[in-house]
Amino acid sequence: MKKSLFVVLAIVMVLMTAVVAFADEKPIKIGISMPLTGPSAEGGLKQVYAAEIARDMINEKGGVNGRPIELVILDDAADAAQAATVAQQLCDDEDIVGVVVHSGSAVSAVTEQIFEENKMTNLHPASSVDALSTYGYVYFVRNSIRSSALNPMIASYIVGEKPSKIGLLYQNSDGGADLSDYAHKVADAGYFDIVFEEKFNSGTEVDFSTLVTKLMSTDAELLWIFMNYTEGGTLLKQMLDMGCDIPVAADNWLTYTTTIEIAGAEGCKNLTCVGSPSPFTGLPVTEEFLKRFGVKYGEGAVPNGPALNTFDGVMIIAQAIEQGATKENLAQWLKNMDNLHEGKFVATNLINDKMSFDETGEMEDALFGMIRVNEKGEFYGAGWVEKVDFGF
């Protein structure tokens, strides 16, 4: 407790010094739209805190070319209608240079057109549906892993575990459909057989016992799932209680402490989450982020992928502005368009180590880590996934 208090006081002292130093400098404003209320608020609040950590780390080192970073934070409640209103509010603020927005694809699909019409660079840290980058929008950028990049890596992990028969359980959503489509391609290529497949309606179904019973009637050796941390924790707890003891593969949507709180360490013993970025890179910036994240959420707390990406998102915008990007050309600068700078823009000192983007706004290259839960109920890094070339 004393150590945590000391860290908090030290950070406050540094920030007070920074405020004085920046007193006469116009801030660089970055918009943040996340769910601060509603069923997705737990994740959204962590994303906001991650953005605040990035802001503080930048400002403590003198800001961007002597100017402080300021965040304009609004609540989209993960609701499409509210997110549209929030997006327009952010666009109407002429001082905002770019925005880091949303906790999922459904709201991004609504707002990216609004941002495009207003020529506002919009960076998405938690939206995976492939179609978002297919509309030719200049101002769309994302540093989250799209489904077509994530599912091959989860499949690579699964194939490495060598199950001959697997089950699929996923939300009735675009993300779930993407998982199913890819899993069937891998199965058709002869890597495994799919002997169980079910989808469910997120937000309305909270009892998976009937589906677990059905799964147990098959000879599936591993279950591949797509669901949020509350659903995942509930499923894992029910599998434990019903004696369903098979490995479960998921993305890093389940790397919330809520998953462990619901399922317990024993319920999570068979869970492996595959995702990027990993909070276990060991990089100095990651270690500093985790230390600060732990001040608020408890020592050893592990942020999920969207929170890590939100931190990186603020860092990426700040680095581009520092190198010469402006509000008007920020997206083109990030995407290496229009010959705005010499060489290729590559953001560095990120949790994801380093990052660049192609002209569609998709990030290039990423390391995928495996995250598991130990007997003490703590997430830990379990190594890296080696990509399999499935031939399609």
- Rounded to whole angstroms, how far apart are CA atoms 211 and 158? 21
305 phi and psi, to 5 degrees? -55, -50
- Rounded to whole angstroms, how far apart are CA atoms 311 and 51? 5
- Considering the four listed CATH numbers 3.40.50.2300, 1.10.760.10, 1.10.3720.10, 2.30.30.100, the one that applies to the domain covering 2-145+282-361 is 3.40.50.2300
Q: Are the C-beta atoms of residues 151 and 128 closer than 8 Å to each other?
A: no
Residue 334 structure tokens: 């990030």
CATH superfamily of 148-275+369-384: Response regulator (3.40.50.2300)
pLDDT in tens, 194-252: 999 999 999 887 899 999 999 999 999 999 999 999 999 999 999 999 999 999 999 98
Q: Write the CB contacts of 212 (distance below 8 Å, at least 6 apart in sequence).
A: 235, 238, 239, 242, 244
- Amino acid 10: pLDDT: 56
Domain boundary assignment for the chain: 2-145+282-361, 148-275+369-384
Counting residues of the chain whose pLDDT is more than 90, the rounded percentage is 79
**Per-residue DSSP letter, 146:** P
- DSSP three-state, residue 220: coil
Angle at the Cα of 149 from the Cα atoms of 284 and 236, rounded to 5 degrees: 80
Which residue shows structure tokens 């030719």?
Answer: 136
- Amino acid 76: pLDDT: 98
- Amino acid identity of residue 30, one-letter, is I
Which helix or strand (DSSP H or E) is residue 251 part of? strand 248-251
- Rounded to whole angstroms, how far apart are CA atoms 298 and 62? 28
- Amino acid 204: pLDDT: 81
- Amino acid 257: pLDDT: 86
Identical fold between 2-145+282-361 and 148-275+369-384: yes
Give the pLDDT means over successive 10-residue stretches in the chain (392 positions).
52 53 80 95 95 98 98 97 98 98 95 98 94 96 91 97 98 91 97 98 88 98 95 98 98 89 98 92 94 91 89 98 97 94 92 93 89 94 94 91
